[in-house]
Structure 1
Amino acid sequence: MAGQFSSSVEFGLNLSKRIHHTKLSAPAPLPEMTRSIDEHLPSAPMCYAVIPDPDIVDNPDIRSYQPYVYGRCDPPALIPLQLQGIEMDVDCCLDTAFVTVTGRWRVHCVRGSSLCDCQVAIPIGDQGSLLGVEVDDFGRSYHTELVSLKDEKEKQKMAKAKDGYYLKSQIYIVKIPQFKGGSIFSVKIRWSQKILFHDGEFCLNIPFCFPKYVNPVGRSISKKEKIFLKLNSGTANEVLCKATSHPLKGVMHQAGKLSLSYEAEVPAWSSTDFSFSYTVSSSDIFGGVLLQSPFLRDFDEREIFCLYLYPGDFLDRKVFKKDVVFVVDISASMKGSPLENVKNALVGSLSQLNPQDRFNIIAFNGEAYLFSQSMEPATVEAILKAAKWVDTTFIANGGTNIMLPLTQAMTLLRKSSDSVPLIFLVTDGSVEDEREICEFVKSYVTSGHSVRTPRICTFGIGLYCNHYFLQMLAQVGRGRYDAVYDLDSIDTRMQSLFSTASSVIVADITIKSLEGLDSQEFFPTHIPDLSSGSPLIISGRYNGTFPELVKVTGTLADRTSFAVDLKVKREKDMKLTYVISRTLRLHYHLFLILLRI
């Protein structure tokens, strides 16, 4: 699908050579065409004219009188539209960024007497979720709506809507019907994405790299870029800006808060992604609790709370020893690039282990194949032996049975005591007994074992994997989840997830002081460990009077007890409702459909 999209854009760029922009001018030169599949995939929010009939391609202001083109484009060509103006607002709340991009686009490539459909392409950043799209054609308006497939009426509405789909990874396509040649329309796109944490720094990267061919040509047009960034860390600690891709200027700087802006007339639109990194000063673990009332039309009238723990910027903090079982899918669907990339990522993850750690590997399809009958110390010799075993055993064939290897991994880890037991599941498929698997893990976690129960991390590959199931399994298992749709990203993303999951600095976390509430609900329901590679965010709903202090306890890697009293404050300037909604997406199948208003 991505290859077809890229080919359609390449065809569209060739068609646009027919356009003369002034009476005496020749068509503007375009970049040399290439055959790379990813060459024309969007690296910023983009709009395209959908061209089934090549004869309508022309300057809407001045006819070019090009020779008639016979035939039709099948599939339709996609001509990138010219960008007339761009604004971006970024609101950073705790570990989530809410992004709004508004652009004005001109249908510069269709003669004024003709109509064409348009496509909006939306590349979203790390672990992103599309929140909405609004289109204003100065007379017509469209907006997207989130629907849950739990409701039969919404299922029927979703079945009729064929306006949007995922192109690749985090690239979403929305089709908008019937624009007149020469018209200008506005598109506002909203999404949320994860703010990554690495080596004590928060890092945000937003797709904002526009190709040269979206720059207006043929007449003088003011090109103004605007970026406004608002940051609320939720703490009273100082926020320090470390690096930024665009020349942002300070607007406001308070304890725990920061506002920056950028506005400029530019000769060409941004040719680099927007990146921003910052630190929240503290050498020790710190956190707090934020409270907020629900918005007026919230379906849940209970109050909102959000508890956060930051690992601090002390990089040499001791982490727990690890007992890790890698559970890897080698079914027939993993054949080729997926399995080869997983093999490389697995060997790279093994190299992250320390000699005092222990590991094992289970490869599975319809059956399960163990590297060893017991946990092995992570010595250099054992890791080399495991790498050879992986190379000879990982041959893609057969079906998918997750329950069998998961049960075996639980058995291998049941004697772990002074370490953090971790199951790292990698799959590209789905199984029929997903509910039974989640119930099995849930009963195991809540059965009151005297030893620490295994944390389950899940890594999904591709569009056909049941990512909802993997997210729920990781949540029930107090682990972490990530996924890739782009096969080339498997190695880096899988190793990154393992690095975060295996760098636990506080385990067995409990939240106290909430016994006096009338009711409470946590998301996630099973509290994960605190890793040096990621903050811990627990959100939820409650009824009653919230205490002024909340005690959080746990166990440190040196086996001593951890305890901290977190101050509670009511927060008005942060979008806590959206932060908790991002978590709630684990519990509902939500989809975007396009509606005309």
Structure 2
Amino acid sequence: MAEDFVNAVDDGLKLSKRIYFGKDRSVAPPKPMAAMEKSSHSYLPSSPMVYAVISDPAMVDNPDIPSYQPHVHGRCDPPALIPLQMNGIGLEVDCCLDTAFVTVTGSWRVHCVMGSRHCDCRVAIPMGEQGSLLGVEVDTPRKSYCIQQIAMDDKKDTEKAAKFEIGGFLKSHIFTFTIPQVDGGSNISIKVSWSQKLLYSIDQLSLSIPFSFPEYVTPAGKKISKKEKIQLNVNAGPGTEVLCKTTSHPLKVSSSHIFGGVLLQSPSVLDSDQREMFCLYLFPGNRQNQKVFRKEVVFVVDISGSMRGKPLEDMKNALSAALSKLDPNDSFNIIAFNGETYRFSSNMELVTQEAIEKAMEWINVNFVVGDGTNILLPLNQAIEMLGDTRDSIPVIFLITDGSVEDERHICDVMKSHLTNRGSICPRIYTFGIGTFCNHYFLRMLAIIGRGHHDAAYDADPIEARMKAFFGRALSTTLANIAFDTMENVDELEVYPSRIPDLLSESPLIVSGRYKGDFPETLKARGILADTSNFVVDLKVQKAKDIPVDKVLAKQEIDLLTAQAWFSENKELEEEIARMSVKYGIVSEYTCMILLETERGKNDTESTGALEAAPSRVELQKMVDSKGQKIKMLRSLGIGFGNLTATTENTSPGSEEDKLPEAAEMFVKAASNCCGRIFGRCCCMCCIQTCSRMNDQCAIALTQLCGALVCLGCFSCCERVIVFSFVFSLGYLSRVFSFNRFHLNRSNMPLIHVIVQIWQHKWKILINTYYCEATTFVYMF
């Protein structure tokens, strides 16, 4: 899908050369990229962008200065995407603890479409680290739009939403949606907000926001300028000193030791859970000279058939980098699995250069993909290997791209293993590749094992993401973290339920709900790498400038979804849906809708932010009285795995949506055309009947229809062509295996030549029936 998007933008930039801006044009036409510079990422958006969706190239022109343009035959299929010129844009960022809330407000102009025509506009919103879309508002001269979350009525809602192409993820971090029917020359105002994580390294927080604009969005003309405004607000918590040199450099949290605090916040009146909220945060500080934990590491890696190719090579490179980062006192082992398991060694191996080289040789020989995915057996073997751990941190890394049927059973087994272990039980860190694996199962395993979960949803960033994941997980600063018991606190609930270790590469955020009186100070305890005990006092304060509920919402929804999946608790699912609607965060139990309002109707009224979680039917009743329309977006959740894809060894990345093939477009066109000709006849029945005809009958009907086209009157040519197409379809499906036929770029020029000949000779509107025209290529 991303490659199709890149090709469409490339076509759009070439098509934009038709636009004439006058003699005072100050912007040169986009320069074509060199062949060696082109890649699948060349035209992926690196900032909020808006594109005109062009199906008919004849509409491309300057809406202000109409110019003579040579007539263009045919249509753009798939449609080209012309980047719109940007009038101005503003960026406001609120950084709270480890989360950044980003709001972008911008204005774009449909500069490439005639004033008398209109086109759809596609909006692309790239987000930063672990970005989560919170809301979108769009204003056009005739209509306004907003995106909201609603609760799903049932599975049918999910299936129905999945069929809509109005919105979805181009890549895991790039959200796109379509605004229908925007007039040429008009302006589009867009306000979009999302949340993302701040990156932490040593004692520095860094914020990276996609805000790099290509030169071709700069407005043409000397009198028009593009304006950008950036505002950054930082609140890293009470009592924390923050230093910031410039807006393009990392933020420095000034501290050389572990520090933290506790923030309290009362729930809103409409909150279904009226318990008080707390947020406990710990920052590792700058402890470069501290003694590090000795580690015993077992890599449990998936080598099933779906890992073939790039995912397997990326995993090999990441494993090599992780082994090189281990200290000489550490030990390691590797277990590869598909339907069977393969051990590098029967015992843990000390880290030496010779052992690492031997391990890489073993990896290159034994990492051969095979059928099956058995996760429980290698996990049990890893637990047995780490049974005698005393003065070290035992770590299990599980890397997989597939789902298995016994996932809940695996969680139960691991829970029983780790509950009965000593003071330092094995940590389980999980990494999921693609969307066919059940990320909530992997997250639940990480919760049980006091570890963390990460993922690479796209095939491209697997190696870089995995290397960073290994680096963070191997940087334990404080282990076995616990807090003093709170005697006056009732109904205490903590997320996550088992507190993970504090890592030097990321802060630790723990949240929860309670009733009663929270203590004024709280002690956090843990074990340092030298096995000494560590205690730090955490000051408890009321949150004033930090929206604790918003900061915690994404983390709590992810943790609660894993718990709801594991326990199959319907009430918990409903609670997650309410949270998702309230904070505008995507979840597995809600779906997105595009709410359309006509300009001038009910401008003063709005559905606003929804505190409850109305279903689609309930929301439809709410908006019907206001003259609004609802359009469902495809499901944006990652789902709970795909057993079928895992069984069939489907590789990650194959889940990307693809454009419909030519055969599908033919059938769709035929169904529309037959309705005009046969009235009440069923198109599919007609096609099935034709497919059963013998060859002689099909040829005779084809020749008859062709003769009627040549001898018939002009007024009926269109319908005769369609009639000919329907009866030829059965014959072509038999001769050319039509269901598998696919139009590609190589045969398009021939088709366009045929289209031009027919247009010139018979004056037929072939553009309207582009699919039918291709039939004549094979008739003659």
Match of 2:469 in 1: 497
Q: Does 1:359 align with 2:332?
A: yes
Give secondary structure in 1 for the equivalent of 2:492.
strand
**1:281-430 alignment runs, 5 A limit:** 281-430=254-403
Match of 1:457 among 400, 419, 429: 429
Match of 2:411 among 438, 462, 475: 438
Stretch moving more, 61-70 or 144-153: 144-153
Q: Deviations over 1:506-532 (max 9, x none)?
A: 111112232321212111111000111
Q: Deviations over 1:472-501 (max 9, x none)?
A: 322232111222244443223212111111
Give secondary structure in 2 for the equivalent of 1:408.
helix
CA change 1:541–1:244 in 2 (3 A) is same
CA distance in 1: counterparts of 2:69 and 2:272, whole angstroms: 57
CA distance in 2: counterparts of 1:583 and 1:190, whole angstroms: 17
Q: Deviations over 1:172-210 (max 9, x none)?
A: 111221111111111111111111111221111111011
**1:97-136 alignment runs, 5 A limit:** 97-136=100-139
CA distance in 1: counterparts of 2:256 and 2:266, whole angstroms: 32
Q: Give the deviation of 1:119 after TM superposition.
A: 1.1
Give secondary structure in 2 for the equivalent of 1:456.
strand
Unaligned runs of at least 5 residues, structure 2: 562-587, 598-780
CA change 1:299–1:453 in 2 (3 A) is same
CA distance in 1: counterparts of 2:354 and 2:88, whole angstroms: 59
Does the CA-based 8 Å contact 1:132-1:592 persist in structure 2? no
Match of 2:580 in 1: none
Q: Give the deviation of 1:128 after TM superposition.
A: 1.5
Match of 2:83 in 1: 80
Match of 1:220 among 223, 229, 233: 223
Residue identity matched to 2:500:
P
Does the CA-based 8 Å contact 2:442-2:453 persist in structure 1? yes
Residue identity matched to 2:328:
P
Stretch moving more, 169-178 or 323-332: 169-178
Match of 1:553 in 2: 525
CA change 1:394–1:243 in 2 (3 A) is farther
CA distance in 1: counterparts of 2:431 and 2:347, whole angstroms: 24
CA distance in 2: counterparts of 1:190 and 1:196, whole angstroms: 19
Does the CA-based 8 Å contact 2:282-2:509 persist in structure 1? yes
Match of 1:55 among 54, 58, 69: 58
Residue identity matched to 1:418:
D
CA change 1:503–1:149 in 2 (3 A) is farther
Q: Deviations over 1:40-97 (max 9, x none)?
A: 0001111111111111111111212211111111111111111111111111111111
Does the CA-based 8 Å contact 1:513-1:551 persist in structure 2? no
Q: Give the deviation of 1:452 after TM superposition.
A: 2.0
Match of 1:205 in 2: 208
CA distance in 1: counterparts of 2:375 and 2:400, whole angstroms: 9
Q: Give the deviation of 1:302 after TM superposition.
A: 2.0
Does the CA-based 8 Å contact 2:25-2:222 persist in structure 1? no
Stretch moving more, 7-16 or 378-387: 378-387
Does the CA-based 8 Å contact 1:460-1:483 persist in structure 2? yes
Residue identity matched to 1:325:
V
Residue identity matched to 1:562:
F
Give secondary structure in 2 for the equivalent of 1:244.
coil
Higher CA-based Rg: 2
CA change 1:207–1:554 in 2 (3 A) is same
Residue identity matched to 1:519:
E
CA change 1:172–1:416 in 2 (3 A) is same
CA change 1:79–1:231 in 2 (3 A) is same
Give secondary structure in 2 for the equivalent of 1:240.
strand
CA distance in 2: counterparts of 1:321 and 1:147, whole angstroms: 48
CA distance in 1: counterparts of 2:24 and 2:91, whole angstroms: 37
CA change 1:296–1:210 in 2 (3 A) is farther
Does the CA-based 8 Å contact 1:123-1:170 persist in structure 2? yes
Match of 2:182 in 1: 179
CA distance in 2: counterparts of 1:168 and 1:487, whole angstroms: 10
Q: Deviations over 1:357-386 (max 9, x none)?
A: 111101111111111111111111111110
Aligned-residue CA RMSD in angstroms?
A: 2.0
Q: Give the deviation of 1:162 after TM superposition.
A: 3.8
Give secondary structure in 1 for the equivalent of 2:145.
strand
TM-score by length of 2: 0.70
Does the CA-based 8 Å contact 1:360-1:374 persist in structure 2? yes
CA distance in 1: counterparts of 2:490 and 2:25, whole angstroms: 74
Q: Give the deviation of 1:33 after TM superposition.
A: 3.2
Q: Quick check: which one's strand share is greater?
A: 1
CA distance in 1: counterparts of 2:517 and 2:423, whole angstroms: 35
Match of 1:272 in 2: none
CA distance in 2: counterparts of 1:83 and 1:349, whole angstroms: 44
Match of 1:277 in 2: 250
Residue identity matched to 1:204:
L
CA distance in 1: counterparts of 2:117 and 2:212, whole angstroms: 30
Match of 2:556 in 1: 584
Match of 1:69 in 2: 72
Residue identity matched to 2:433:
I
Stretch moving more, 468-477 or 11-20: 468-477
CA distance in 1: counterparts of 2:443 and 2:426, whole angstroms: 16
Does the CA-based 8 Å contact 2:264-2:541 persist in structure 1? yes
Q: Give the deviation of 1:467 after TM superposition.
A: 2.6
Does the CA-based 8 Å contact 1:20-1:27 persist in structure 2? no
Residue identity matched to 1:106:
R
Q: Does 1:512 align with 2:521?
A: no
Match of 2:145 among 130, 142, 146: 142
CA distance in 2: counterparts of 1:26 and 1:521, whole angstroms: 61
Does the CA-based 8 Å contact 1:10-1:33 persist in structure 2? no
Match of 2:46 among 43, 47, 54: 43
Number of residue-to-residue matches in the alignment: 566
Q: Does 1:448 align with 2:451?
A: no
Residue identity matched to 2:211:
F
Does the CA-based 8 Å contact 2:27-2:218 persist in structure 1? no
Q: Give the deviation of 1:26 after TM superposition.
A: 11
CA distance in 1: counterparts of 2:553 and 2:28, whole angstroms: 46
Q: Give the deviation of 1:303 after TM superposition.
A: 1.6
Does the CA-based 8 Å contact 1:362-1:369 persist in structure 2? yes
Give secondary structure in 1 for the equivalent of 2:538.
strand
CA distance in 2: counterparts of 1:277 and 1:536, whole angstroms: 19
Match of 2:565 in 1: none
CA change 1:44–1:512 in 2 (3 A) is same
Q: Does 1:535 align with 2:507?
A: yes
Match of 2:630 in 1: none
Does the CA-based 8 Å contact 2:243-2:252 persist in structure 1? yes
Q: Give the deviation of 1:433 after TM superposition.
A: 2.3
Match of 1:255 in 2: none
Match of 1:470 among 442, 448, 458: 442
Match of 1:169 in 2: 172
CA distance in 1: counterparts of 2:341 and 2:150, whole angstroms: 39
Does the CA-based 8 Å contact 1:20-1:26 persist in structure 2? no
Q: Give the deviation of 1:138 after TM superposition.
A: 4.2
TM-score by length of 1: 0.91
CA change 1:593–1:509 in 2 (3 A) is same
CA distance in 2: counterparts of 1:443 and 1:44, whole angstroms: 47
Give secondary structure in 1 for the equivalent of 2:273.
coil
Stretch moving more, 304-313 or 481-490: 481-490
Does the CA-based 8 Å contact 1:164-1:593 persist in structure 2? no
Does the CA-based 8 Å contact 2:85-2:217 persist in structure 1? yes
Does the CA-based 8 Å contact 2:27-2:220 persist in structure 1? no
Match of 2:98 in 1: 95
CA distance in 1: counterparts of 2:15 and 2:332, whole angstroms: 57
CA change 1:39–1:201 in 2 (3 A) is same
Q: Deviations over 1:291-343 (max 9, x none)?
A: 11223433332221100111111222222111111111111111111111110
